[in-house]
Structures are given as structure tokens and as C-alpha cells.
Copies of this chain bind each other. A is one copy, B any other.
Amino acid sequence: MTISASSIPRRHDLVRAEMRRLGIDALLVTHPSNIRYLTGFIGTAGALVITERTCQLLVDFRYVTAAGDIAAGLPRGVVTVHAVDRSYDDAIIARLRESNAQRIGIEAAWLSVKRFNALSAGLASGAPLPLDRNVPCPVLVPTERIVERLRMIKDAVEVETLREAGRRLSTIARDVADLVRDGRTELEIAADLEAAIRGAGFSKPAFETIVASGPNSALPHARPGPRVLSAGDPVVLDFGGVYDGYCVDLTRTVQLGVPSPALERLYDAVDAAHRAAIKTVRPGVRPSAIDAAARGVLAARGLADAFGHGTGHGLGLEVHEEPRISRETPGVPDDPIEPGMVFTIEPGAYVPGVGGVRIEDDVLVVAGGCERLTEAPSLMRAAGAGARGSEY
């Protein structure tokens, strides 16, 4: 992953400022994307213990060499690596004890009840004998969104990576109608799309590619299956890629042959909702207002019930991250958006018996508005019998 030399220490400074505000003297980070953001380390396991002066990366045998290389590439002492022998929890407890931390933040959204209980019991029970009654027992303090909030605002290097990723995904999107032909199956088209994603320089698809044709298009998260495409089908193609660690995500609905009048109305409505939402994006606007812009257009056309998901989601090290662009919902943050945020705009309308349409692009919030990271014709039509696709 490309990281500017100064970004990791700066991220640590911001985490430590938040730790002081919360009155915690250590933070245990266990969510892999958050560990990656704070160290550059990529692995399916690992834990990070951050204190005012130290940032200790705990990894098992499989990752010791890779983690050591990463630490060596950072300014000295920014991250130190510790090998875990048998149990992550034992290693975490040992590091926390050594730090003498008394209020230890944990990531409540990512730590399981099982591990919370095991860590609590370990911290409470393992004090050296004879017990010193003057030493209070450390406590685990649930915290939320310490790292996730930082991750929302992309720095210059992250923005450049996402721009390049968006350009590459757009190239695939512009040719996507060529894949949609009579007689092909959803699975064949999905395989072609994933090959195109790798061919465009992505390290992998960002999620399982969706190709949903005909009646399946009315299922917002259908998986590609053996269904054979035929004339009249709408075909929802939702695909994304991971480029240098960062995810982009795009959807087009390609019409194969002539759409029914009811389907034509869906295309028009979703296209208008997509444009209305993008027009709304600028610093200071709440996510719920962007969502309302898309939802209002659909509701005005009698499609309020046909749009059951949110309008968008943040993009970055994860393909679904903050901010969520959705209706105001208790417990879901709705803070005004800020420059440097990157998210999708993806209204859809799904009507059983008619079909489904979704159009999705990625935007970067900039002063006064947004920059589109993906660009391709919103509506595309594929000819019924093998001819090249054209703009709709």
C-alpha cells in the first residue's frame, strides 16, 4: 500500500488525542482494516496496542517477517512488532499489563463478547502474587469509531489512489454493454467482469460481482446464476476492484433489446434520482439530505417502496465504510459531510414483475461540491443479437 511517509505518525497523533479526550491510557485495535490504516500491515490476524508512547503490533508466526519489514520502513519506534506464540489474547494481556494501563479502550463494534470476557478475566486474574491491594484492576472500556472517523477523510495519497482506481473501473464500465448478449449466462458475464477487473490492474474484485438479469434484477443483491439472458431483460451489473488496497464500486443496468414501458419508467426515474443525489453532494450537507434527494425523485414517481436500501456508502480500505448515505436512523451517524470523503451514490428501484435498475458512481467531496471518480454513460443498451452495445 502506498502511504506517504508522514501519514502513519500523524494518524497515531490523532488517535492519541482522542484517547486523551476519552481518558483511556491504552487502545486495543483488533479490526484488520483499522490495524492496516495505523501501520500498513495487511493480514487476517493481528492486534495493535497503542499507548501514549508506544504502538505495538502483535502478529503470529505467519506474519512476523512481513510485519517486521513494514515496521522497518517507518520512522524508528513508530511501530514495534511482537511475535505471538500460541494465543493472541495471552500476548495482548501481557503487553497491556506491561504498559500499566488502567483504562483500556476496546473497539466495541469489532471485539466479540467472547474475547471481551476472556481479556477481562485475564487482566483481572493474572496479577502477580502476592496481590497488591493498592493496584487497581484494569478495566476494558468500549469505544466506537475512533479509527473509523479518521478513515472517512482521505489524505492526498489516498485520494490519488482512489482517483486512479476510479479511472480504471470507468474504463471497464464504458465497455460493459458489450458483455451483455442474448444467450449468455449471468455467471459467464460475471467471470468476464472479474477477468476485466484483474486485467485493469486491480489486485482483486472488491466484492462478489453481481450480474442479475430479467426477474433477478428485481432482487437488489442477487448472485449471478445459470440464467440465460434474453431480449427484453434489464441486466444489473455491480462490480468493483481493490487497487493498491483501496476499493471502488460501480453499477450499471444494461438493457438487452427493447424494455417494457414500465421498465423504461424505472430507468428514467433511477437516472434522475442518481443525478439529483450527486448534485446535492457538497461539504456541510448531511448524508440524510443526499439520501432524501434520491428518495424524493423516486417517491414523486410512485416508487417510494421500490427503493429499500440506502443511497450510498463510504469507500476506502473497505468497500463498505463510513459515511453511510441513508435515511436518518437512530444510532447511525448523520454528521455533515466533509472534503476528502469518498462514497458511492447508488439509487435503485426494484419492482417484482417489472425488473430492477440501479446506477452507481463514486464521488469525492471537494470544496463547493464533488468530483466524480467514476464516469460512464448512465444508461446503456445492448442489442438483442450479438451486435455491439451503444449508449442508451
Name, among A43, A114, A218, A352, the residue most crowded by chain B CB atoms within 10 Å (CB to CB).
A114
Contact with B along A93-121 (1 / 0, CB 8 A): 00000000000001011111110111000
Residues of B within 8 A of A150 (CB): none
Q: Does A336 contact B (CB under 8 A)?
A: no
Residues of B within 8 A of A218 (CB): 65
Contact (Cβ within 8 A) B221 A63: yes
Asked, given contacts A191-B198, A331-B87, whether A62 binds B112 with beta carbons under 8 Å apart, the answer is: no
In whole angstroms, what is the CA distance A50 to B63 when docked? Answer: 40
Closest residue of chain B to A144 (Cβ to Cβ) is B114
Contact (Cβ within 8 A) B198 A204: no
In whole angstroms, what is the CA distance A119 to B118 when docked? Answer: 20
* Copy total for this chain: 2
Contact (Cβ within 8 A) A86 B329: yes
Residues of B within 8 A of A62 (CB): 219-221, 308-309
Contact (Cβ within 8 A) B204 A208: yes
Chain B min CB distance to A73 (Å): 16
User: Which residues between 97 and 154 of chain A lie within 8 Å of chain B, taking CB atoms?
Assistant: 106, 108-114, 116-118, 142, 144
Residues of B within 8 A of A204 (CB): 208
In whole angstroms, what is the CA distance A268 to B61 when docked? Answer: 22
Among B110, B117, B219, B309, contact of A112 (Cβ-Cβ < 8 Å): B110
**Interface residue tally on A, bucketed by range:** 35 or more
Q: Does A60 contact B (CB under 8 A)?
A: yes
Q: Does A82 contact B (CB under 8 A)?
A: no
Q: Does A330 contact B (CB under 8 A)?
A: yes
Residues of B within 8 A of A142 (CB): 113-114, 117
Contact (Cβ within 8 A) B114 A112: no
Contact (Cβ within 8 A) B116 A113: yes
Contact (Cβ within 8 A) A114 B118: no
Contact (Cβ within 8 A) A61 B309: yes
Among B66, B87, B191, B309, contact of A219 (Cβ-Cβ < 8 Å): B66
Chain B min CB distance to A188 (Å): 10
Asked, given contacts A66-B219, A309-B61, whether A113 binds B114 with beta carbons under 8 Å apart, the answer is: no
Contact with B along A190-219 (1 / 0, CB 8 A): 010001001000001000100000000011
Q: Does A227 contact B (CB under 8 A)?
A: no
Chain B min CB distance to A22 (Å): 15
Among B87, B117, B198, B330, contact of A330 (Cβ-Cβ < 8 Å): B87
Contact (Cβ within 8 A) B112 A109: yes
Other than the known A42-B223, A65-B219, what 18 A-B pairs have Cβ atoms closer than 8 Å?
A44-B221, A60-B308, A62-B219, A62-B220, A62-B221, A62-B309, A63-B221, A66-B222, A86-B327, A87-B330, A106-B113, A108-B117, A109-B114, A110-B112, A111-B112, A112-B113, A113-B116, A191-B198
Q: List 10 A-B contacts (CB under 8 A).
A: A62-B221, A62-B309, A87-B330, A87-B331, A108-B112, A108-B117, A111-B113, A113-B142, A191-B198, A195-B195
List the 5 closest pairs (A to B, CB-CB), nearest first. Answer: A61-B308, A108-B114, A108-B113, A62-B221, A62-B220
